[in-house]
Structure 1
Amino acid sequence: MTAPSRLRIGPVRRFTRNLVCPVDLLGRPLLLKYTREPSEARAEIRGHSQLASHYRVPTLHARVRVPGGYLLAYERLPGDTDSGLLLDLLNTDEPTHTLHAYMDQLTTTYREIILATAWSTNPAHVVRKLYWDRAAPGGRLDAYYAGADFAVADGLIDVPIARLDTYTLKINGRRHHLNWTATIRWLRSHFSAPEPVWAALTQGDPTDVNLAHPLAWFDHDTAGMNSILGEFANFLWYASALGGWLVPRYNPGAFADHPATFAHVPANTPEIRRADVDHTTSTIHIDYVPHLSAPRQAAVSAYWNQLARPVAGRLWPGADLANLLRPYLAMRIIGVYNLADLVPEDRLVLLARLTEAMSPAFDPTTYFLFLESPCPAR
């Protein structure tokens, strides 16, 4: 009889620039995370420590400096193929009782902790990675778009993005205008202003792959005092656009252990019905239908009604939540993926979504929940 193995190593997975690997060491299930950037590793360790007193997070057993970065050894929470994440509760045809119960627990936990830890502070004191750093000189907006010009949608609408302001955009029958250059300039200005922001202790990047089932929080390099509005925009945009559509399309390796995701991508992919330009009237016509699966609609609805609206009512009574969310949403739309790198159809939809978010008529209730069909009958 052979002795049981003292060490078992599972498959290595890549998430952005980090590598993770399940390991069983002396019967103890661990998750090893290799982070290349020492600064990110230090932020993760610090964020984990801050969250641990308020949220359920996996135990951090060890941290080791290794060539090129850090190796962090976490407690490995239960999970298997297509199980263990909020993502798996969304990868169904209809919302389940388990999903509804999960969203009740998630929103209750967030609501209590956000309101207990909220404070109005200078933006220098909040986690800056996902918003302020991306808008700063040399940040992601510069890396993606400084000096760049590209077509609105190659082969469909070949108007250069820099000239978009000279056209009227008729999106699903409604007239809009978008000045791309001015939008970038506005975002840089907004996230360089010193005005106080409401912040609270959160994980900062609440995606459906960073939220475990049963409820726990993974990935802590953006954890700490985060902009509450940034937290809201992040979850709402990820749940309604990135998680079910764009991330599976452009980073499929992240879902190697959750292959059911791919079967549901069609249910979350927008449908373009018209895309053309009339140069005689300087009008761009875009008709599209935003699709969102029933489980994702249920999750977004619960988050909006049970968390975003009640918290906003306490912290910004009487304020227009659409205006408050707009800069954070715009940054998520153009600051995650470089629009120029996307296929023309995806770029076109994102530009349409950006245009709608920048419109004075922007209404998060219909924008995220699709309570009415925005596409005219044809």
Structure 2
Amino acid sequence: MKFNEFGFHTAIMDGINAMGFNTPTPVQQQSIPPIMEGKDVISCAQTGTGKTAAFILPIMNKLSSLPMRLNYTNTLVIVPTRELAMQIDQQLEGFGYYAPVSSVAVYGGNDSLTWEQQRIAIQNGADFIIATPGRLIQHIRMGYVSLDRVEHLVLDEADRMLDMGFYEDIMEIVKLLPVKRQTLLFSATMPTNIRGMAKKIMSNPIEINIAISKPAENVLQAAYIIEDSKKIGLLSHLLKGKEHVKSAIVFASTKIKVRSIEKSLKNESMSVLAIHSDLEQKEREDVLRKFRNRKFQILVATDIIARGIDIEDIDLIVNYDVPHDPEDYVHRIGRTARASSDGVALTFVNKMDQKLFKQIEQFLQAKIFRIPTPENL
């Protein structure tokens, strides 16, 4: 099945194509049709299965098909952490590049300027609010949050939210929403407390269960524990003069880092180009075409741009930064060891990211081998 078989609006398909997506994942294939039909859906889907796009795309499609822009919040997405709120907001930005859809990520741990930006976006009626429960309630208690016209409620990583003690906050928020709405619940597991909550807030939901997604067995995974200041030196050590590495992708967390890595490697006369959101679409396509044709050796990329890269025979993946979510890790290293070939995936882990990396290992149910940092570094 292909994305164009869902009957999406042209603006949505333009966004999907721009990001390089082609084939929907199983959770997307099974969730998108009933969501487009307006049904409540419970999806038991492990991180790494593409669940975010499963609810973003059909809702964005509905909004894009309206004759005029809304001036109120249409969709509320409740998530357990600021990292997930930011990730979903970034994906909305990517998929919605050609669509008339607005969003705001609402989370704590920030300054007064960010609070004010959140307040303005909420008051202006952003189409999507992606929020952690506690911070949203703080805004609600200030008296300017209007949720009485919300048509879609999404609870993402519901089991994690209940584990973190957010049940009462969620139910307080739900009481402010219209009774008639579409509710979508995504959870990696389906314990009794999740089913109990679903029974209270959902109407005849369809249940979808997706098997856990794991990396290919023929990917050799390893990690370096290394300070940020030494990462570029290690990267150069791994890539410079390595003629047996025909194609390598280096993933970094931000486009600023992507540009910096590209510049550093070029200064060492390496064959490298970068792909990021500051490039025009034609420029991105040109970079990918050259990479597929082996015109250069090293591609440096961010997740949001590189998700749709479909290139075989990539020898090496380097995670310059630890991804914030196992979903991104699985996706990144899935770029290698395709079509029964072998591949290597290396991750640079600083002290601050060791907890994130342990979460990835827990998800994979495997310990990833640590390689000692070269003595010269």
TM-score, with normalisation over the residues of structure 1?
0.26
Task: Name the structure with the higher strand share.
Answer: 1
TM-score, reference length from structure 2: 0.26
